[in-house]
Amino acid sequence: MILDAHDLACRRGGRTVFRHVGFRLAAGEALVVTGDNGAGKSSLIAVVAGLLAPDAGRVSLEGGGGRPLDELIGLVGHRDGLKAQLTAAENLVFARELLGASARPVAEALASVGMSHAADMAVAILSAGQRRRVALARLLACDRPIWLMDEPGAALDAASLRMLAAMMSNHLAAGGIILAATHQPLGLEGARTLRLERPAGAAEPDDPFLEEDWDGELGWPLDAGPAERHADGSRPRTDDPA
């Protein structure tokens, strides 16, 4: 399996966020995306996830076993994408039913991130770090080989960051693929790094794909659905003919 991003460009709010971005990730490989605020890290994750259509270039998949790319992606966005009124376990059950695939039992997934004690607790009463761990457990509970992660270490303490590094390493060892945007070291040995730079003349200091673009419960943008794809599964340029 190979995730291929070719010559991507993205525009948000009438300005170019990034251009000429490309990479190829094979099974067992990870790419860590870094850069200043406004460089487009979150926007790149959204483009690869199909939540934003690229202004140029395309994202495609080789060797997906006939499954479209969006059925192979597990996403942890800038927000945790959890339903506050549900318990930690209920959130994972909901995700498994919604995505139609399961990997580990819910109890095992929560135990893997040290959240067994909170299985029957409403997410609304959990700390930010605990909510983040539940969101990470969702990746373990659902069978998605491509992990897209936006600031996966946000709100995590030192012990939880070590847990995250081990979790990501295990996913790669099992043949998974990881694309992670981050401001902090993830401790992921062997990962490649892509640093995004704001295009010359870009004045805004913040990434235009901010957390307010995401729905607080579902983790998807409020104003965008999955981008259309070509017959081969790749996503089109915005100026491609219909």
pTM of the predicted protein model: 0.83
Does a structural domain hold residue 236?
Answer: no
Q: Is the per-residue pLDDT at 237 higher than 80?
A: no
Does a structural domain hold residue 145?
Answer: yes
46 compared with 102, residue with greater pLDDT: 46
Does a structural domain hold residue 242?
Answer: no
Residue-wise pLDDT tens digits, 149-175: 999 999 999 999 999 999 999 999 999
Residue-wise pLDDT tens digits, 196-212: 998 766 545 444 444 44
The tokens of 88 are what?
A: 């930690």
What's the mean pLDDT when you consider all of the chain? 86
Q: Is the per-residue pLDDT at 132 higher than 90?
A: yes
Q: Is the per-residue pLDDT at 230 higher than 60?
A: no
Dihedral, CA atoms, 162, 40, 147, 71, nearest 10 degrees? 160
Q: How many domains does the chain have?
A: 1
Does a structural domain hold residue 222?
Answer: no
The pLDDT score that the predictor gives to residue 202 is 56
Does a structural domain hold residue 178?
Answer: yes
The pLDDT score that the predictor gives to residue 94 is 94
Does a structural domain hold residue 88?
Answer: yes
Neighbours of 175 (CB within 10 A): 12
DSSP string, 120-158: TSBGGGS-HHHHHHHHHHHHHHS--SEEEEESTTTT--H
Q: By residue range, what is the domain housing residue 8?
A: 2-213
Q: Is the per-residue pLDDT at 81 higher than 70?
A: yes
Does a structural domain hold residue 50?
Answer: yes
Domain CATH for 132: 3.40.50.300
The tokens of 139 are what?
A: 């990746």
Instruction: Give the mean model confidence (pLDDT) for residues 111-118.
Output: 97
The pLDDT score that the predictor gives to residue 242 is 35
